[in-house]
Amino acid sequence: IWAPRPPRTPASPSPDWDPGARGRMRPLLALWVSVLLGTPGGSAYGFRNCIQTARDAGSFRCIQRFVRDIGSAVGDLPPGATAVNVSHNAIRRLPPGALTHLPRLRRLDLAFNQLQEVEQGAFTGLGALATLDLSHNRLAGLAAGTFQGLANLSCLLLHHNLLSTLGSGVFQPLANLHSLVLHNNHLQSFGEVASSVQNLRQLRELDACKNNLTSLGPGPLLPSSLLVLRLCNNSLVGVSGASPDLLRGVRVLDLSYNNISDVESFARVRFQNLSWLQLLGNPLDVFRLLNVSDVRPRSVDYSGLALGNESVSELCWYLQGARLRQLRLHRNGIQALRQGTFAPCPRFGTLDLSWNELRSVGCVAELLSWGQRQGLRSLVVEHNLLKRLPSCEAGARLPSLYNISFRFNRILTVSRSAFAYAPGLRVLHLNINNIADLHKGALQGLRNLTELRLDNNLLTDLYQSSFTDLGRLQTLNLRNNHVSVLFSDVFSNLSQLQTLDLGGNNIRHLTGKSFQGLCSLRKLYLDGNHIQEISSDIFRPVQATLEVLDLRGNKLQYITKQQSQQPPFMYLHRLYDLKLQAQQPYGLKIIPYKFFQGLTALRALFLSQNKLLSIPSDVFDDLAQLQYLTLADSSNGMQDLPPGIFKNLSRLETLDLENVGLHSLTLEVFGNLSRLETLKLAKNELQTVNQSVAQRLSALRYLDLRKCPLSCTCENTWFQTWLNNSRVQLVYLYNYTCGSRQQPAYVYSFDMHVCFLDVGLYLFSGTAPALLLLMVLPLLYHRAYWRLKYHFYILRCWVNERWRRQEEEQYQYDSFISYNSADESWVLQELVPNLEQGSGRGSFRLCLHHRDFRPGRSIIDNIVDSIYNSRKTICVISRSYLQSEWCSLEIQLASYRLFDELKDVLVLVFLEAIPNAELSAYHRMRKVMLKKTYLSWPPQPEAQKLFWTKLKRALKSNYMEEEEEDFGEEDKVL
């Protein structure tokens, strides 16, 4: 039955709403609502093995689900899916047409599976696919029609497979392929690779590194569009075998880590477009190569050619000419540089000497000619053995040098004015060294410095004078040092500093002067220190500008909710990101009252891993701008959140309450989160999800209830009804099992019939007794009325008479006469005279109602008494007798003695002949007649004598059996 959807927001409950009382009624109500209105308000959907990305409805992640076949991984995805990530599963094969239901797919990631086979037509219907990742699988070969239909594919990743051959037509359908990645396979013939890609008119980049290639030929030409060719980590000995024009269009050629020594082979191949040749890790004489081939010297990367100290000058001879953008000499085993080493070289912008064995670079300027000094902009000496940076106060300057990187060295000491040669320095990277001794004047004169990285060193103390000249510094990174104290005013000259990273130090204490002078500071990282206390004073110097504050992993802890001081973040009105996770060693435990007061601009608050015991309900009251809140992993006995805790968070979009020990969701806590889109509730104690809460969260799109012991009770039936809609994604919905472990039942499919039965039961037990009663009453009335009544009277008689009458067989009367008043004249004129008169055994004592009934007693009592006090009962039967109610009572009562006590008390006397048909209306009478013989009053006077004799004999007899012998068959009227 179609019915309109009920409105999203249900009638709001009154504030003193009692969940318990309503809760008991809820299943029934909800059921009725759903029966009457179709689906109840909310709606949900979920995927068996995928999670839809919260912000991008077309994007799905189906990773690490242990699925073995593609169908069960993505079979339930909607046709609108544009990006699907199925990596890190156990898929073995792709059957034909496995993904035809996803025609809009643009990106498909199947990496890290166990694919051995991709069948022909596996990707049919994926005409929109642009990126296909099949890397890290076990593909040993590719059938010809494998990529049929992928006309728009631009990037194909096949690295880390077991490919040893490629069919020549396998890439044929990929008319738009730009990039083909084949590294880490077992390919042996470059000719085969070339013929498989020769028709790809759009191919720009081909990566065949780390295969087993030994030569570049024979084979067809590469497509002229190819610009980048990577052949590193193969077993090439030269470029022999290649046709002269094979590489003519290639701009970037990577031949590193081969075994190339045959430089003569380069002479036979044209390299006229080459602009970058990587030859690292080959045992070749690069100068010889330059001599014999048309490779331009400036196109070669001279890294890893074992040039040593001496060859640099020779090299420079080859590089003569205009200014070089960069001179890169990685991995050449250079141990020392003499004065003027680079003097023969042309001017260059960047000098990169990384991965050598230099112990010192002196004051740099000495190595260069005057012209080079003017031109050098960047100096990179990473991964060397530099130990100390000497003082360079005197000596030549490098006016345009703006970037120095000495990362990954062993620098211990930085002397006074170590960078005096670079007065224009803007970026200085000294990170990842052993600097313990940074001279107070080391950075003197660097007035233009904007970025200084000193992280991952051994600094213990910081001095104000170290930073005196750095008035333009914007970023200072001091992370992972051993700083334990921040002296007053240490940063006071850094008025332009925007980012200060002090994470991973040993800072215990901060004062109001620690950050004095940082009047532009926007981001402050103090995570991973030992800070035990924070106060509003500490942040006062940066209150006007601070936007991000990271205090994660410190030692903040509160033991009471009462706070003696002002709330610590009181003045940080611009702060939008605050991190307080994982306080050591036992978490924050308690959050004091009004702890977050003043944070009116805060958008993200991280409070996870804090073992919270209690949170006051007013704590988030000021955070009206909050969009993201996490309290995840705070479970430490905190049970449910206090009512009203989120009442002001009307802008909250993401709430992470994973593993916080929640037992229930209540409207008092969650009722106001009207903009909440993502709610993570995994690993809680939730057994049911309150439907009214779900309905109130009207913006909800993503709900995670993984690992909650959801029970399959009727309270969760609405879950199932949610399923047919599409508003809220319930993450891995089909994986939620019922809390009880007995049988693997699932919340999405548990048997709801019990719930419907419940109602049936209510209805049944409400109506059945009434119905039964209605059915039984007439029956009872019809069948057992007299029986009951009779037994009741019998009981009464028995009780009354028991003590009165010792001898049961002594009757007061010989016979009770039951007759209708219409027959009174016969009784009085015929019966009474004939039976009462006479003497001795011939006379009988009769009981007549008009004569012998005791006055004052009820008629019924009198009747029962009379029947019981008489040996026999004579029924004088006529038509009027049968119609009379009293007579019928009398005959019935008497017949009970016949049937129940097996005492023959009845003597039937028919005054007139009544046809059987007429008698049949009187069942009991007929029953008696069938059981007994009876007498008929004969109209002929002669016969009347016999009648009286028979009647008298009947009155005298005691047992039915005798009676039957006495009366003959001739008397039966049937």
Site residues for ligand NAG per CB under 6 A: 49, 63, 65-67, 85, 87-88, 107, 109, 183, 209-210, 232-233, 257, 735, 737
Is there a contact between 710 and 687 (Cβ–Cβ < 8 Å)?
yes
Minimum CB–partner distance for residue 87 and ligand NAG (Å): 5
Tokens of 936: 């008929």
**Which is nearer to ligand NAG, 72 or 516 (by Cβ)?**
72
**434 vs 2: CA distance, rounded Å:** 75
Paired with 253 in beta bridges are 229, 277
Question: Minimum distance from CB of 735 to ligand NAG (Å)?
Answer: 4
Indicate the burial class of 404 (C-beta count within 10 angstroms; 0-12, 13-18, 19 or more). Answer: buried
Question: What is the spatial distance between Cα 77 and Cα 824, in angstroms, rounded to a whole number?
Answer: 98
- Alpha-carbon distance of 738 to 137, in angstroms, equals 36
Q: For residue 866, what are the contacts with CB-CB under 8 A and spacing of at least 6?
A: 813, 816, 847, 849, 852, 853
Judged by beta carbon, residue 2 or residue 66, the one nearer ligand NAG is 66
Shortest distance (Å) from residue 363 CB to ligand NAG = 34
Work out how close the CB of 135 gets to ligand NAG at its nearest, in angstroms, rounded to a whole number. 10
Tell the smallest beta-carbon distance from residue 63 to ligand NAG (Å). Answer: 5
User: CB-wise, 233 or 505, nearer to ligand NAG?
Assistant: 233
Smallest separation, CB 394 to ligand NAG (Å) = 42
Per-position DSSP letters for 916-957, written without gaps between them = HHHHTT-HHHHHHHHHS--EE--SSHHHHHHHHHHHHHHHH-
Helix (H, G, I), strand (E, B) or coil at 429: strand
| Shortest Å distance, C-beta 129 to ligand NAG | 12
Q: Which is nearer to ligand NAG, 107 or 328 (CB)?
A: 107
Q: Which is nearer to ligand NAG, 609 or 735 (CB)?
A: 735
Q: Is residue 950 a contact partner of residue 967, using CB atoms and an 8 Å limit?
A: yes
Beta-bridge mates of residue 230? 207, 254
The distance of closest approach from Cβ of residue 746 to ligand NAG in the complex, given in angstroms and rounded to an integer, is 7
CB of 164 to ligand NAG, least distance (A): 17
- What are residue 191's phi and psi, to 5 degrees? -60, -40
Q: Nearer Cβ to ligand NAG, position 164 or 812?
A: 164
**Interatomic CA distance for residues 255 and 238, integer angstroms:** 9
Q: Which is nearer to ligand NAG, 207 or 658 (CB)?
A: 207
- In the complex with ligand NAG, which residue's Cβ is closer, 183 or 950? 183
* Cβ at position 109, least distance to ligand NAG in Å: 4
Residue 58 phi, psi (nearest 5): -90, -5
Which of 620, 748 has the CB closer to ligand NAG?
Answer: 748
Smallest gap from residue 729 Cβ to ligand NAG (A)? 16
CA distance between the termini of the chain: 66
Name the 3-class secondary structure at 238.
coil
Which of 257, 569 has the CB closer to ligand NAG? 257
Nearest distance, CB of residue 487 and ligand NAG, angstroms: 45
Give residue for tokens 């008043």: 821
Q: What is the DSSP letter of 184?
A: S
Q: Is 838 left (phi over 0), alpha (psi -120 to 50) or beta?
A: left
15/744 with CB nearer ligand NAG: 744
* Phi, psi for residue 935 in degrees, rounded to 5: -110, 150
Cα(612)–Cα(633) distance, rounded to whole angstroms?
A: 9
DSSP 844-887: --EE-HHHHSPTTS-HHHHHHHHHHHEEEEEEEE-HHHHH-HHH
We find the least distance from the C-beta atom of residue 654 to ligand NAG, in angstroms, to be 20
Q: Which is nearer to ligand NAG, 47 or 539 (CB)?
A: 47
Please, what is the minimum distance in Å from the beta carbon of residue 738 to ligand NAG?
10
**Whole-number minimum distance, CB 33 to ligand NAG, in Å?**
30
CA 548 to chain centre: 31
- Cβ proximity to ligand NAG: between 93 and 416 the closer is 93
In sequence order, the β-bridge partners of residue 654 are 628, 678
DSSP per residue, 717-747: HHHHHHTTS-SEEETTGGGPBPS-SSS--BT
C-beta of 65 vs 522, nearer to ligand NAG:
65
Question: What is the Cα Rg of the chain in Å?
Answer: 53
By beta-carbon proximity to ligand NAG, the closer residue of 233 and 477 is 233
Shortest Å distance, C-beta 706 to ligand NAG:
9
3-state secondary structure 654-710: EEECCCCCCCCCCHHHHCCCCCCCEEECCCCCCCCCCHHHHHHCCCCCEEECCCCCC
> What's phi and psi for 589, nearest 5 deg?
65, -60
Burial class (CB in 10 A: 0-12, 13-18, 19+), 688: buried
The CB-of-232 to ligand NAG minimum distance in angstroms stands at 6
* Least distance between ligand NAG and beta carbon 629 (Å): 25
Nearer to ligand NAG, 254 or 633 (CB): 254
Number of Cβ within a 10 Å radius of residue 175 = 14
Judged by DSSP in three states, 277 sits in: strand
Walk across the sheet containing 252-254 and list its strands: 51-52, 59-61, 83-85, 107-109, 131-133, 155-157, 179-181, 205-207, 228-230, 252-254, 276-278, 300-301
Q: How far is CA 737 from CA 526, 919, 971, in A?
A: 42, 73, 84
Supply 11's token pair: 């009638």
Interacting residues of 665 by C-beta distance below 8 A, sequence separation 6+ = 681, 686, 689, 690, 693
